Structure 1
Amino acid sequence: MPAYLLLLAALLSRVIPHAGWYGFTAVGGSLLYFGARRNWREIFLPVAAFAGVDYYLTTHVYGYDFIWQSYLVTWAWNAAAIVLGSILLARHVSVLRVASAAIIGPTSFFLASNYAVWAGAHNPGGMYAPTFTGLLTCLAAGLPFYGRDLLSTGLILTLAFGVPVAVRRYLASRETAPSRQIL
């Protein structure tokens, strides 16, 4: 159930206007957590839900035509993030594994999505030149988004995995602490 609640929060973090949150989104963290806590065969639901949000945002919020091919890299990454969460975090959770997921997830999305933007911009008058310098320019343009994705994914994973551990440790310490009686 927590994986589905976090997924719902991530969907809402995409849809609800949140300019004051500086680009915060719970997408990466929720997909990694979903992969860690749910069966990988449930991969279709989160990917389909985010595809639906992409359609809604593109057509209703931004007012553009929806070209599904433009989203293939994003949707493939959504599925890959769930698989990564399953590989890194399903059997054994440690600070190192959570930190690794918090770095690998946003980094892989940054590289894949910016490469796709650069590769698709090779038309006349495109934003980025079809050269290595053009690719570097595209990557540089995405750095602010990458930093915010690292921060938000790290925060979501820290809360999702850390809060239950902190609560269990607190409850265990209360059970083993000697009771004090006032005389």
Structure 2
Amino acid sequence: MNKLIIPAIIIFAALTRLMPHPPNFTPIIAMGLFGGAYLKDKRWALMLPVVAMLLADLFLGFHGTMIWVYGSLIIITAMGFLLNSGVTLKNGAIATIGGSLLFFLVTNFGVWASGSFYPKTVEGLISCYAAGIPFFGNTLAGSVFYSGLMFFGYEQIRKYLPMVPDTIQE
């Protein structure tokens, strides 16, 4: 069973990016946090969101700010490492909100720094962040929804099926 968990999560995340959905309402941040918290092999945890994004981007197309997106997901997954001492509602919520905020700040900075749409001034950076606010709402909503689904779901499975491990071996 353990050998199927990582491929299943990657395929699920990639498919949710390919299906119609509100912009940025995806499980990618939640998946990074979940992998960081529950995957014993931290290399797999770090690769999980990146591989899912790469798989979906093969169909959606690549763009100039991917390094910022993928880099932020690696940092968010590392934030999930801090949860592996025990996921609570409080620290899970803090990580989910913090991960969403980090994603917003890093990726919008990347749009500003890498692109030519905004002037390379403080005003240009502020304009870039302001333009990203509607997307942040969806990022946060998607992260909260999918984090709840993944973390609560896994804990409920562990509660009722004692043979399910505390961490996922890979």
- Alpha-carbon distance, 1:3 to partner: 5.4
Equivalent residue number for residue 16 of structure 2: 13
Candidates 121, 132, 140, aligned match of 2:122: 132
The 8 Å contact of residues 10 and 51 in structure 2, kept in 1 or not, is answered as no
Are residues 1:81 and 2:76 paired? yes
**Letter of the 2:78 counterpart:** V
Q: Which of the two has higher C-alpha Rg?
A: 1
- The residue aligned with 1:161 is 151
What does residue 174 of structure 1 align with?
A: none
* Structure 2: 5+ residue stretches without partners: 162-170
Query: How many residue pairs align between the two structures?
Result: 156
TM-score (norm 1): 0.74
Runs of 4+ in structure 1 deviating by more than 3 angstroms, as ranges, are 1-7, 163-171
The 5 A counterparts of 1:76-155 are 76-87=71-82, 89-121=83-115, 126-155=116-145
Conserved? CA contact 1:22–1:148, under 8 Å: yes
Instruction: Classify 1:164/1:145 alpha carbon distance in 2 versus 1 (closer, same or farther; 3 Å).
Output: same
Root mean square deviation of aligned Cα = 2.4
Q: Does 1:44 align with 2:34?
A: no
Instruction: Quote how far apart the aligned CAs of 1:118 are.
Output: 0.7
* Unaligned residue ranges in structure 1 (runs of 5+): 59-65, 172-183
Contact kept, 8 Å, 1:24 with 1:148, in 2: the verdict is yes
In the alignment, which residue of structure 2 is the partner of 1:70? 65
Displacement after TM superposition at 1:135 (Å):
0.7
Stretch of structure 1 that moved more, 108-117 or 41-50: 41-50
Residues 73, 131 of structure 1: alpha-carbon distance in 2 compared, 3 angstrom cutoff: same
Whether the 8 Å CA contact 1:103–1:150 is kept in 2: the answer is yes
- Which of 1 and 2 has higher RCO (CA within 8 Å, sep 6+)? 2
- The structural deviation recorded for 1:33 is 0.7
Question: How much has 1:56 moved relative to structure 2?
Answer: 2.6
Tell me, yes or no, if the aligned pair for 1:11 and 1:53 is still in contact at 8 Å: yes
